[in-house]
Structure 1
Amino acid sequence: MSSALLIIDMQVGLFNGPDKPHDGERLLANIQQLIRQARARKVPIYAVRHTGPQGSPIEAGSPFWQLLPDLELNASTDILFDKGKPNAFFATSLAQQLRAGGIDELFIVGMKTQYCIDSTCRAAADLGFNPVLVADAHTCMDTPALPARAIIEHHNATLGGAFARLINSADVTF
């Protein structure tokens, strides 16, 4: 099985905005470790950023739209792309690129759990890929209805099995 790492919406404005992501530093450390492991094993790294409408904090080209520098992504070796909807496959060439590269297993990490992580896991499964949700490498913020920890736990339970295989970052082997 050929694998890839998909990093979703780890953007300056989402990660460092007024609403802080739950357990953000641990999340970032886990993703950085997965990036190092992927590079060591020559596993392709895909990183997507959400593009908001003109005038929004994450409009294309704005400082908040940029991917976190701490990820040390490299546009010459990593595949960086943009999306306008929560599903990273919608109106992008992600599925075609994965198929062209013979990739069928997709390790999914990033933000926000209840939007882009959820949508992308479900879409990956529907498109015939084998999504692997890294249970301790995705996050979101507290909402008026639920704390972030409950959202993350709920989505791990909901997505695990039916839509994705769950694994912790320490157990990932590409």
Structure 2
Amino acid sequence: MQSAFGLSIPMTLEDVCHPQKMALLVYDMQVGIAQQLFNAVEFIQQVKQVVDVARSHQMRVFFSRHTTLPKEIAGVSQLKGAMALQRVTTVAEVQPNFLPDSAAHAVVPDLAPLPSEVAFDKLTMSAFVGSYLDLALRDARIEAIAIVGAVLEFGIEPTVRHAADLGYVPVLISDACYSFSEQNRTTSLAALQSTSLIADINTFHTTLDRVHQNEADAI
């Protein structure tokens, strides 16, 4: 931690791993998305490791859900984006695959939110656009947000950048963020080094435990 002009400036993972000041965002771990992931079962368990650690430390946990609207009510950016993602050339071919309350829209069962947690819907790639996430975090005096889920190069990267622009310290748990290729992963992680702290599952777990023990010893 560095100090300047009356500010404490976090520099390391240990500086921000305080459950009272950090939240976990589980990004778009939905049934319909998991069906598109190679080795989905194994990846879901990697994400679950992080969720379990956060829960054990009583960290606030938020789940985002990518949502599509019926084509008849969707707007220009939604239809254009759907055509690109689904690799079709006409609106008529677009399938609204993540309608609210559809089976594909739900969070995968192994990661189902607890009654003390929330899942929120979004139409955009950034989890902060049009959602209550920023307000909820600020109201809880959260300063850092750990992020896991799918997919790193599509939605997680813009969410990390948006979090940094809003003044949070993003913590990217790299091996709990899915990428469709190692090239994509390498490119995204390199691009996000200047705006986030990057750790793996084990480092995140051990750092949280160490900070918790240090705080307990100080009492």
TM-score, structure 2 length as denominator? 0.71
Runs ≥4 residues deviating over 4 A = none
1:21 to 32, 37, 40: 37
RMSD: 1.4
**Which residue identity does 2:133 align to in structure 1?**
L
Aligned pair count reads: 163
1:102 to 136, 141, 147: 141
**Map of 1:164 onto structure 2:** 196
Residue 23 of structure 1: CA displacement?
4.4
Q: For 1:81, what is the secondary structure of its paired residue?
A: strand
Hey, what's the Cα distance between the residues in 1 that align with 2:145 and 2:39? 23
Residue 86 of structure 1: CA displacement?
0.3
Q: For 2:128, what is the secondary structure of its paired residue?
A: coil
**Which residue identity does 1:52 align to in structure 2?**
T
Hey, what's the Cα distance between the residues in 2 that align with 1:22 and 1:131? 26
**Map of 2:22 onto structure 1:** 3
TM-score, structure 1 length as denominator? 0.88
Unaligned runs of 5+ in 2: 1-15, 71-94, 209-219
Residue 22 of structure 1: CA displacement?
4.3
Residue 117 of structure 1: CA displacement?
0.2
Would you say 1:31 and 2:31 are equivalent positions? no
**Which residue identity does 2:103 align to in structure 1?**
P
Q: Deviations over 1:125-173 (max 9, x none)?
A: 00000000111111133xxxxxx2211121111112x111100011114
Whether the 8 Å contact between 1:4 and 1:44 is mirrored in structure 2 is yes
Tell me the percent identity: 28
State which structure, 1 or 2, has the greater radius of gyration over its C-alpha atoms.
Answer: 2
